[in-house]
Structure 1
């Protein structure tokens, strides 16, 4: 009988107040949120930097596309600044080309493209960052590409880091 009382007492203790609660305590939850916050604070600037570099690379490709067009233009007209009919090749004409790389769906919301200079035997194209890209990419700034393939950047980082 003693054995039965002990078993009943054990069963009673398990079924009443001695249950273990499952879940998180407030302290555990606060620590988890703090850890996520710290990771986000570290990851977000890296993410923004990566996006900025990606947009810059796309602008470089677009400048190269414009330079390829200019070389074809020169082959046809034997000069960079006007065609055989005397129509000027200027920034407005360059924009009128409407290359897909400069569309709003691609780099057009982040960079504007124009000539820095154009002459019969030389040109320099530029990609100027606009809006958020201008604020984020101050180290490289405006990118340039000329008729000889020389690359430039107006920011403090220099050509080697920006191109």
Structure 2
């Protein structure tokens, strides 16, 4: 009579292979998740830059306060999912602005692209040159 089943060695080899695959796949997956959440900051920065330009057309200066002048919920503004905090700065409100998104919460693990910025000239900058791609 022959037993049907797996030997202990076969089970250990299978578990080892699964462990190796998971060890390789998980870090890649986490980098993908961080990169996908980065799009929230990019779209929010572009939206706020457009709002700044509309504000400039009406008031002949850029907004210094995001909540009172642009009608957002707070200054600094926290994005919808809470992954980024966006603040504005300006040397002269009549001439320029820079919007900066800083990673917070779980997105703070994205050290490669911890901050993203956009200026009144739509010049995009970040911690790493590939962050806006």
In the alignment, which of 41, 61, 65 is matched to residue 79 of structure 1? 61
- Whether the aligned pair in 1 keeps the contact of 2:66 and 2:87 (CA below 8 Å) is yes
Shift of 1:151: 0.6
> By percentage of residues, which structure has more helix?
1
Tell me if the contact between 1:126 and 1:144 (Cα under 8 Å) persists in the aligned partners. Answer: yes
Match of 2:107 among 105, 122, 133: 133
Task: Please point out which of 68, 71, 77 is paired with 1:93.
Answer: 68
Once the two structures are TM-superposed, the CA of residue 40 in structure 1 deviates from its matched residue by: 0.4
TM-score by length of 2: 0.85
C-alpha displacement at 1:93, in angstroms? Answer: 3.3
Paired residues in the alignment total 129
Structure possessing the higher radius of gyration over alpha carbons? 1
Gaps of 5+ in 2: none
Q: Does 1:102 align with 2:79?
A: yes
Aligned mates of 1:20, 1:50 — CA distance in 2:
48
Measure, in 1, the Cα distance between the counterparts of 2:61 and 2:120. 11
User: 2:12, 2:69 → 1: CA distance?
Assistant: 56
User: 1:122-160 deviations in whole A, cap 9, x for unaligned?
Assistant: 1100100113322x221222110011100111x2x32xx
TM-score (norm 1): 0.71
- Helix, strand or coil at the partner of 2:94: coil
Residue 131 to residue 95, structure 1, CA distance change in 2 (3 Å): farther
Quick check: 1:121 aligned with 2:95? Answer: yes
* Residue equivalent to 2:34: 52
Runs of 4+ in 1 over 4 A off after TM superposition: none
Gaps of 5+ in 1: 1-18, 82-88
Change (3 A) 1:91 1:73: closer
Describe the SS at the equivalent of 1:162: coil
